[in-house]
Homo-oligomer: A and B are copies of this chain.
């Protein structure tokens, strides 16, 4: 039976969180949101496509920056209300030009930057 994006559970805004994980080394790179159409587009095109809550528009990752995400595999959690997308990330996933958005760690009660922006 083929997969239907409508079978997932979306929040009141029609969105589902999608965690992007580097398929090569397992690093968690970012979390963003998809609606059912974004899920379908991601699967159809193989290019990870989110829904931008601020712009209220599809967000084909890397369309302007060139920092694309190629879908390797999409996974669904037990409650069907969260997605894990394994990807091949070109360049940096974060808009700060860092490889991952999770570049701040809490160590000894303080925030520590653990990742520098990549060279342009």
A81: shortest Cβ distance to chain B, in Å? 9
Number of copies: 2
- A106–B43 touching, CB < 8 Å: yes
Across-interface contacts of A98 in B (CB, < 8 A) = 78
Given A31-B82, A79-B101, answer yes or no on A106-B74 (Cβ-Cβ < 8 Å): yes
Instruction: Give per-residue flags for A1-45: 1 if the beta carbon is below 8 A from chain B beta carbons, else 0.
Output: 111000000000000010101000111101100000000000100
| CB contact between A31 and one of B3, B19, B106 (< 8 Å): that residue | B19
By the criterion CB–CB under 8 Å, are A102 and B73 in contact? Answer: no
Q: Is A60 an interface residue (CB 8 A)?
A: no
Cβ < 8 Å to B, chain A residues 63-84? 73-79, 82, 84
Q: Does A111 contact B (CB under 8 A)?
A: yes
User: What residues of chain B lie closer than 8 Å to A114, measured between beta carbons?
Assistant: 75
Which of A2, A31, A74 neighbours the largest number of chain B CB atoms within 10 Å of its CB?
Answer: A31
Residues of B within 8 A of A31 (CB): 17, 19, 77, 82
Residue numbers in B under 8 Å from A26 (CB-CB): 25-27
5 contacts between A and B (CB under 8 A): A3-B111, A31-B77, A73-B107, A78-B101, A84-B102
